[in-house]
């Protein structure tokens, strides 16, 4: 309440007996000629001595009536307390950011783990034009019993001048703020990532032409470059000893790592927030995460090492032959979508490119569970989202109502998008998470979900075929081992049998490989064009027994036997398969009578079906 007009005095003609002169700040009675001392409207009243008082003869009467104004005394006291508090607040720090608390709070936000934080430093190195990046994870001796882990990232990029170095350590101090052409946009990566894992980050950087003051060393050797250094320290910030980034200083005795024409060395010390405390565990996780995240840069020539070992690119699509593990096949053609950056603005659009791959079930299904986990096959289903050649997230995106299942481990998807679509994909400043917006989901989900369902169905059928081939393995082994006891089959096969072999090879990849002495006989399940219980395919090298799963004998006898758990079931099934293999081989060995034998087999199958049919 204003001190000028905050109190109404008694006496005179009662309430409303005075009027206010706003120009002079003087109050005048409407019934008596009482003079008030003028008081400025900007003056703050904090004690009774500063309140306005009468100077005429009416003052004694007003003092005698003071008891009637006890209630207003409390208002004056409260007003004075608020004013004093306001004055004290002006003396406190009212900056937008409470620096000490901000630093402690930001350490807990933004990064999924150590690998994600280190990826920010790799981003900076790539944007600085580095072609070689060396990561080091070491355990250093410390005062306590446990060894402290220190992490460093060294690159041969363009380096920084002192001004740029100081800005790089500021939160939001990027020289490329808002620039979508590179990997970073907001200038939060280096300080935010570093302090999320360590209590201190120190940067050493040098540029071409900067030396330590001497043009040449003795005997004509060039001297080490002029290295500038600055740092951030959480403890100093919390104690109030550091309120701005220290001015970079020239390092008198730089580390032997600071070599080359230019470069930057980022060192994390007092690492108190790493995912693990064992160096070997940290290194192993870095190799997996960074190898996948920066695979496109590695394929283009970027050389990254972790503790001296070259980092291999890991392709989650298992498609690139240069990756450590490959063998998948591209499924269909690449999909392309033109999407609005803003759903209400049609002027700004970007392109989204989508690829699906199908993993080789027949070749990899026999891998051990440990090996499947090692190569990322088990529980690895998902979509890799790539921005500017760098993976920003991996998860179950754009799948609509499709739930993840085990068969989804056998396909992969990669989405690459133009940086102008950052907002549409919901990319955060940490570049480790995507939150697709509604209009993007609407554009991509129908096609991606349909493709995923088709691939899951194909994987299911492939596994069923694999299980069937596993059941046949014993009979196939015996037939292959004893084939040398029999007269060789003719090299020229019947045209019908050869045509069926080509048809089967399209859906059974194992038949595409050239047969040798160990796999001259194969047994598969496949629907046939007539009602025969079995038929045969023969190309001169391999004989394939084809069982018709629609025949009553298969449904009523063979399938229950193949799925049975009794100890003798596998032996009985193998003997039955050998019986059918013998019949198929005899038919393939007969010259000139194939049509007649095929008709005889069909009649036999129909008779068998009639005998077994309950209807």
pLDDT tens digits, 90-108: 455 566 667 777 777 777 7
Please list the residues that pair with 10 across neighbouring strands.
none
pLDDT bracket for residue 615 (50, 70, 90):
low
- The residue ranking higher by pLDDT, 2 or 501, is 501
pLDDT on residue 108: 73
Count of beta carbons in the 10 Å neighbourhood of residue 89: 9
The residue count for the chain:
615
| pLDDT value at residue 85 | 52
* Phi-psi region at 50: left, alpha or beta (left = phi > 0; alpha = psi -120 to 50): alpha
The predicted pLDDT at position 590 comes to: 86
Every domain of the chain and the residues it spans = 18-91, 99-310, 329-459, 486-612
Contact 413, 452 (CB under 8 A): yes
CA 489, 492, 494: angle at the middle one, nearest 5? Answer: 95
Mean pLDDT (whole number) for 372-376 = 89
Q: Look at residue 49 in the predicted model and tell me its pLDDT.
A: 43
pLDDT-based confidence at 210, cuts 50/70/90? low
Q: What pLDDT shows up at residue 463?
A: 86
Per the CB < 8 A criterion, the answer to whether 475 and 584 are in contact is: no
pLDDT class for 461, splitting at 50, 70, 90?
confident
pLDDT at 106: 74
Mean pLDDT of 369-376: 89
pLDDT of residue 83: 54
Q: For 332-337, which contacts have Cβ atoms below 8 Å and span 24 or more sequence positions?
A: 332/356, 332/451, 335/447, 337/443, 337/444
What does the pLDDT average to over 55-79?
A: 49
In the predicted model, is pLDDT for residue 56 greater than 50? no
Whether 367 shows a pLDDT value over 60: the answer reads yes
Dihedral over Cα of 331, 332, 333, 334: its sign = negative
Q: What CATH fold (topology level) applies to the domain 329-459?
A: Ribosomal Protein S5; domain 2 (3.30.230)
The C-alpha atoms of residue 443 and residue 441 are separated, in whole angstroms, by: 5
SS3 574: helix
* 21: helix, strand or coil: strand
In the predicted structure, residue 180 carries a pLDDT above the cut 70: no
* Cα–Cα distance measured from residue 312 to residue 288, given in angstroms and rounded to the nearest whole number: 9
Map residue 537 onto helix, strand or coil. strand
Whole-number pLDDT of residue 366: 79
Q: Which residue has the higher pLDDT, 182 or 452?
A: 452
pLDDT at 90: 46
136 — pLDDT class (breaks 50, 70, 90): very high
pLDDT of residue 53: 43
Average pLDDT, stretch 435-448?
Answer: 95
163-202: buried (b, 16+ CB within 10 Å) or exposed (e) per residue? ebbbbbbebebbeeeeeeebbbbbbbbbbbbbbbbbbbbb
Residue 336's pLDDT is what?
96
Residue whose structure tokens are 């994909």: 425
* pLDDT surpasses 80 at 111: no
CB 131 within 8 A of CB 204: no
Q: Per-residue pLDDT for 570 more than 70?
A: yes
Q: Which residue has the higher pLDDT, 50 or 538?
A: 538
pLDDT for 59 = 46
Who has greater pLDDT, 165 or 44? 165
pLDDT at site 78? 52
Please, which residues bridge with residue 383 across strands? 395, 413
| pLDDT confidence bin for 80, thresholds 50/70/90 | low
Which residue has 């380096």 as its token pair? 159
Residue 403 or residue 32, greater confidence: 403
Name the architecture of domain 99-310. 2-Layer Sandwich (3.30)
Residue 316 contacts residue 298 (beta carbons within 8 Å): no
Which tokens in the block code for residue 562? 């193949």
Mean pLDDT of 568-589: 92
Question: What is the separation, in whole angstroms, between the first and last Cα of the chain?
Answer: 101
**CB neighbours of residue 608 within 10 Å:** 16
Q: State mean pLDDT over 369-383.
A: 90
Model pLDDT, residue 71: 46
Confidence of residue 73 (pLDDT cuts 50, 70, 90): low
pTM beyond 0.85: no
Is residue 456 a contact partner of residue 411, using CB atoms and an 8 Å limit?
A: yes
Structure letter (DSSP) for residue 223? P
Question: What mean pLDDT, rounded, does the chain reach?
Answer: 81
**Both tokens of residue 7?**
């109190």
**Calpha distance 30→118 (Å, rounded):** 80
Q: Distance between alpha carbon 398 and the CA centroid of its chain, in Å?
A: 15
pLDDT at 505: 84
Please give the structure tokens belonging to residue 479.
Answer: 């037939």
Within 13 A of 321's CA, how many CA atoms are on the CB side? 0
Q: Is the pLDDT of residue 109 over 70?
A: no
pLDDT in tens, 266-300: 999 999 989 898 999 999 999 999 999 999 999 99
How far lies 446's CA from each of 101, 442, 608, in Å? 46, 7, 48
The CA distance from 505 to 319, in Å, is: 22
Calpha distance 532→547 (Å, rounded) = 9
Mutual angle of helices 569-589 and 438-482, in 10-degree steps: 80
CA-closest candidate to residue 542, choices 480, 471, 475: 480
pLDDT of residue 469: 67
**Mean pLDDT, range 488-512, rounded to an integer:** 84
Higher pLDDT: 129 or 4? It is 129
Q: If we measure between CA atoms, which residue out of 185, 200, 266, 269 comes closest to residue 236?
A: 200
Scanning the structure block, which residue is given the tokens 């007092």?
270
Determine the Cα–Cα distance for residues 216 and 532; give it in Å rounded to an integer. Answer: 91
């Amino acid at each position: 309440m204003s001190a000028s007009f905050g109190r109404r005095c008694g006496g005179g003609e009662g309430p409303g007996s005075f009027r206010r002169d706003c120009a002079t700040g003087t109050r005048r009675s409407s019934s008596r000629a009482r003079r008030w001392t003028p008081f400025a409207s900007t003056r703050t009243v904090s004690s009774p001595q500063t309140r306005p008082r009468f100077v005429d003869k009416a003052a004694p009467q007003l003092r005698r009536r003071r008891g009637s104004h006890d209630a207003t005394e409390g208002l004056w006291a409260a007003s004075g307390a608020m004013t004093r508090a306001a004055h004290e607040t002006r003396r406190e720090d009212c900056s937008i950011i409470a620096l000490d608390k901000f630093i402690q709070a930001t350490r807990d936000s933004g990064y999924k783990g150590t690998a994600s934080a280190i990826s920010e430093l790799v981003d900076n190195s790539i944007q600085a034009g580095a072609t070689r990046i060396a990561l080091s994870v070491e355990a250093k001796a410390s005062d306590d019993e446990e060894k402290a882990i220190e992490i460093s990232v060294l690159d041969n990029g363009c380096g920084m001048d002192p001004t740029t170095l100081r800005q790089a350590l500021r939160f939001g101090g990027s020289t490329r703020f808002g620039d979508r052409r590179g990997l970073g946009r907001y200038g939060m990566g280096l300080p935010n990532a570093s302090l999320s894992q360590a209590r201190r980050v120190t940067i050493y950087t040098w540029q071409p032409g900067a030396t330590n003051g001497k043009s040449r060393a003795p005997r004509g050797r060039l001297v080490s470059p002029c290295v500038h250094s600055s740092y951030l320290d959480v403890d100093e910030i919390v104690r109030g000893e550091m309120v701005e980034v220290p001015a970079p200083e020239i390092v008198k005795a730089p580390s032997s790592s600071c070599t080359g024409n230019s470069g930057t060395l980022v060192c994390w010390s007092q690492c108190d927030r790493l995912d693990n405390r064992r160096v070997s565990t940290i290194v192993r996780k870095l190799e997996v995460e960074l190898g996948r995240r920066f695979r496109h840069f590695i394929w283009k020539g970027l050389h990254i090492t972790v503790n001296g070992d070259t980092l291999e690119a890991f392709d989650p699509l298992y498609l690139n032959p240069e990756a450590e593990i490959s063998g998948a096949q591209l499924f269909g053609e690449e999909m392309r979508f033109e999407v609005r950056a803003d759903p209400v603005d049609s002027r700004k659009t970007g392109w989204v490119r989508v690829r699906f791959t199908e993993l080789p079930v027949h070749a990899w299904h026999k891998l051990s569970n440990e090996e499947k986990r090692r190569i990322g096959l088990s529980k690895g289903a998902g979509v890799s989202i790539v921005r500017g050649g760098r993976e920003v997230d991996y998860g179950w995106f754009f799948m609509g109502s499709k739930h993840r299942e085990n068969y989804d481990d056998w396909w992969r998807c990669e989405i690459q998008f133009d940086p102008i679509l950052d907002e549409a994909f919901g990319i955060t400043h940490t570049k480790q998470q995507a939150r697709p917006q509604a209009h993007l989901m609407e554009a991509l989900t129908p096609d991606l979900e349909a493709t995923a369902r088709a691939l899951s169905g194909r994987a299911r059928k492939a596994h069923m075929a694999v299980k069937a081939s596993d059941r046949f393995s014993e009979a196939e082994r015996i037939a292959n081992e004893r084939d040398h006891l029999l007269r060789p089959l003719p090299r020229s096969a019947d045209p019908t049998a050869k045509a069926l072999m080509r048809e089967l090879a399209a859906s059974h990849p194992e038949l595409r490989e050239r047969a040798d002495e160990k796999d001259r006989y194969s047994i598969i399940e496949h629907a046939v064009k007539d009602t025969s219980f079995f038929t045969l395919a023969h190309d001169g090298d391999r004989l394939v027994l084809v069982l018709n799963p629609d025949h009553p004998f298969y449904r009523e006898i063979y399938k229950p036997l193949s799925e049975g758990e009794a100890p003798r079931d596998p032996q009985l099934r193998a003997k039955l398969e050998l019986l059918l293999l013998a019949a198929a081989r005899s038919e393939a060995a007969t010259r000139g009578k194939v049509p007649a034998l095929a008709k005889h087999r069909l009649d036999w199958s129909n008779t068998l079906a009639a005998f077994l049919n309950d209807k």
